[in-house]
C-alpha cells in the first residue's frame, strides 16, 4: 500500500485569520496516517538500529510510540522482541550514524578595544578565525510486516546543522547536543508517518449572500447568527433554503459542513463539489480533499479494529 499524499489542514489557519465574530463549526476529524499499511498494524517492535546513534534512536522511537494518544492509550502496543522470535506485527530496523565535519571560517566578531572584558569602554569588530562544525544525520528506517516480510515503510530523511564557534564565545552549542535533538526529531517524524491524526478544527461558515434577494439574504443572515446557539436548527434552515433556491454556493457549502459535522463524508463531498461548481471556482476543493481524507481515516480505523 503506497503512502498517501500528505494532507494539509487549513482550518486552523483560517480560524487564526478569522475575526472573532466569525461563525464557525467545530469538528473533530480522524485523518489517516501517510503510511496507511503500517497504521493497520496493532503492535510494533524495535529491532536493532545499526550505527553509533542507533541505540539512542531506537530508545527515542520506543518512547515516542509508547506515549498515550487522544484516547489515553498508545496507538501501538510496543513489544520487546525476544530470542524466540518477533511477537509484534511489525518490526522497525535501520541505520543511524551522525557525522561531524570541521572547517575553519572567517567571521566578524566584536572585541574589546579599550578597557577589560569585564569593564569595556570601547568595542570594535575584527576578523577572526572560527571553527565551523557541520552536523549531518541521515537515519534510514524501515518497517516490515512480520506475517509476510513485506516492507511497508522505508525512509531516509537528512537533517543538517551548522555550529560556528569563535574565540571568546561565552556559550557553545556542541555537536552532541545537535545530534540528540536530531534523534528526537527523527523519532517524531516516524510517528507522524505511521500514526493517524485526531484533529480538532474550527471551520468558518460561508456568509456571502451575493445573488440572494433581500428576504432570503436576511433569512440567511439570521440563520448564520443562530448557528452557534443551535447548529441543528441552522442546518435545517439551510436545507429548506436550498429547496426554495437550489444551487447557491454559500448554502451548499454550509450544508456540506453540516454533513461533515454529522460524519456523512460522502454527502459532504458531494455538497462541496456542487458549491464549487455553482461558484465556478476551486475555492471549495479543500473541503472535498478534507472529507475524502476523513473517510479514509474512518475506514482505516474500522479495518484495524476488525484486525484486517
Strands (E) across the chain are located at 24-31, 43-50, 77-79, 90-95, 99-115, 120-137, 140-145, 151-156, 159-165, 197-204
Q: Is 85 left (phi over 0), alpha (psi -120 to 50) or beta?
A: left
pLDDT at residue 307 in the model: 74
Question: What pLDDT, on the 0 to 100 scale, is given for residue 279?
Answer: 84
- Extents of the domains making up the chain: 47-56+79-186, 207-306
Question: What pLDDT is stored for residue 10 in this prediction?
Answer: 37
Under a CB-based contact definition with an 8 Å cutoff, are residues 203 and 24 in contact? yes
CATH architecture of the domain covering 207-306: Alpha Horseshoe (1.25)
* Per-residue model confidence as pLDDT tens for the chain (308 residues): 545 544 333 333 333 333 345 799 999 889 999 999 999 999 999 999 999 999 999 999 999 999 988 778 999 999 988 766 668 999 999 999 999 999 999 988 888 877 777 788 888 888 899 999 999 999 999 999 999 999 999 999 999 999 999 988 877 889 999 999 999 999 999 999 999 998 888 999 999 999 899 999 999 999 999 999 999 999 999 999 999 989 999 999 999 999 999 999 999 999 999 999 888 766 689 999 999 999 999 999 998 888 76
What per-residue confidence (pLDDT) applies to 8? 38
C-alpha cell at position 161 = 546543522
Q: Which residues contact 248 (CB under 8 A, 6 or more apart)?
A: 211, 212, 241, 242, 278
Grid coordinates representing 109?
566578531
**Strand 99-115 relative to strand 120-137: parallel, antiparallel, unpaired?**
antiparallel
Q: Which pTM was predicted?
A: 0.80
Amino acid at each position: 500500500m503506497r503512502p498517501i499524499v500528505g494532507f494539509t489542514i487549513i482550518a486552523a489557519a483560517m480560524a487564526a485569520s478569522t475575526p472573532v465574530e466569525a461563525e464557525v463549526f467545530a469538528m473533530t476529524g480522524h485523518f489517516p496516517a501517510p503510511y496507511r499499511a503500517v497504521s493497520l498494524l496493532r503492535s510494533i517492535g524495535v529491532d536493532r538500529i545499526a550505527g553509533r546513534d542507533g541505540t539512542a534512536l531506537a530508545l527515542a522511537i520506543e518512547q515516542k510510540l509508547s506515549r498515550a494518544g487522544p484516547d489515553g492509550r498508545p496507538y501501538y502496543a510496543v513489544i520487546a522482541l525476544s530470542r524466540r522470535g518477533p511477537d509484534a506485527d511489525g518490526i522497525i530496523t535501520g541505520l543511524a550514524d551522525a557525522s561531524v565535519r570541521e572547517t575553519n571560517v572567517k567571521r566578524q566578531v566584536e572585541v574589546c578595544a579599550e578597557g577589560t572584558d569585564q569593564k569595556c569602554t570601547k568595542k570594535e569588530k575584527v576578523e577572526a578565525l572560527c571553527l565551523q562544525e557541520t552536523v549531518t544525520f541521515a537515519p534510514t528506517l524501515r518497517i516490515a510486516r512480520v506475517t509476510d516480510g513485506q516492507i511497508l515503510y522505508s525512509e531516509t530523511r537528512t537533517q543538517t546543522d551548522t555550529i560556528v564557534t569563535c574565540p571568546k564565545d561565552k556559550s557553545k552549542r556542541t555537536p552532541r547536543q545537535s545530534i540528540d535533538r536530531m534523534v528526537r526529531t527523527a523519532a517524531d517524524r516516524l510517528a507522524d508517518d505511521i500514526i493517524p491524526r485526531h484533529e480538532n478544527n474550527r471551520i468558518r461558515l460561508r456568509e456571502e449572500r451575493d445573488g440572494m434577494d433581500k428576504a432570503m439574504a436576511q433569512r440567511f443572515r439570521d440563520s448564520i447568527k443562530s448557528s452557534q446557539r443551535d447548529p441543528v436548527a441552522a442546518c435545517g434552515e439551510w436545507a429548506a433554503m436550498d429547496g426554495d433556491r437550489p444551487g447557491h454556493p454559500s448554502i451548499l457549502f454550509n450544508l456540506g459542513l453540516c454533513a461533515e459535522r454529522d460524519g456523512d463524508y460522502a454527502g459532504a463531498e458531494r455538497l462541496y463539489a456542487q458549491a464549487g461548481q455553482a461558484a465556478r471556482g476551486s475555492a471549495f476543493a479543500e473541503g472535498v480533499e478534507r472529507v475524502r481524507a476523513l473517510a479514509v481515516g474512518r475506514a482505516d480505523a474500522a479495518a484495524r479494529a476488525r484486525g484486517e
